[in-house]
Structure 1
Amino acid sequence: MRTLGYVTPGDVLREEFLEPLAISGRQLARDIGVAPNRISQLLKGERSVTAETALLLAKRFETSPEFWLNLQNSHDLEKARDKLSASGLSFPEWGPHSSVL
């Protein structure tokens, strides 16, 4: 079940790629050669972006696979941070390390 407040990779896929291009999830599945339920579950936030899915989405939408994997990692970190924070742990907001500025 999708938790309210979290932006999933599926949300980005739907809002930034599928809707503007008028592509259905079923059509995307055909385009990249996967089962329709794989895309449906991704769009519902019930499935994570795997390395394979990232490669297929990157090819289809002319992005990088890292774009899709970074979306998934950010989502996973946000959920984990909230879960651990609920148990009393606190975490700083991380930015770039001073050595990369």
Structure 2
Amino acid sequence: MPKSAQQPPIHPGEILKEEFLVPYGLSANRLALAIGVAPNRITGIVNGMRGITGETAILLARAFRTTPEFWINLQAHYDLELARAQVTKERIEGAEALSRELSAA
């Protein structure tokens, strides 16, 4: 599929909002107060302006009976998809050339 036709990656905040906050009738502020973080942390995540840290992953996992790995994996997947879209062909070719050189050594 051409890059221009690809869907943008889904930010973990969208999943937090659509799969957890909305179904449970929770606001970002209510969640933040319950897990003891500043409301702007959760709002930033939900708005796609902030990533999920290890600490936040632990707290979200406890609140929603998931695992920290669930939240960290969502963030890692998002970050990798952004990186794939930003890494230039020339840089990839340079990395592959080095790999071939190392394999020949």
- Please indicate, yes or no, whether the TM-score normalized by the shorter chain is above 0.5: yes
Partner Cα distance (2:10, 2:60) in 1: 18
**What TM-score does the superposition give when structure 1 sets the normalisation length?**
0.80
2:48 to 40, 45, 49: 45
Partner of 2:78: 75
Partner of 1:97: none
How many pairs does the alignment contain? 85
1:12 to 9, 15, 23: 15
Gaps of 5+ in 1: 91-101
1:30, CA displacement in angstroms?
A: 0.7
Give me the CA root mean square deviation: 1.4
1:80, CA displacement in angstroms?
A: 0.1
Gaps of 5+ in 2: 1-6, 94-105
Partner Cα distance (2:82, 2:8) in 1: 10
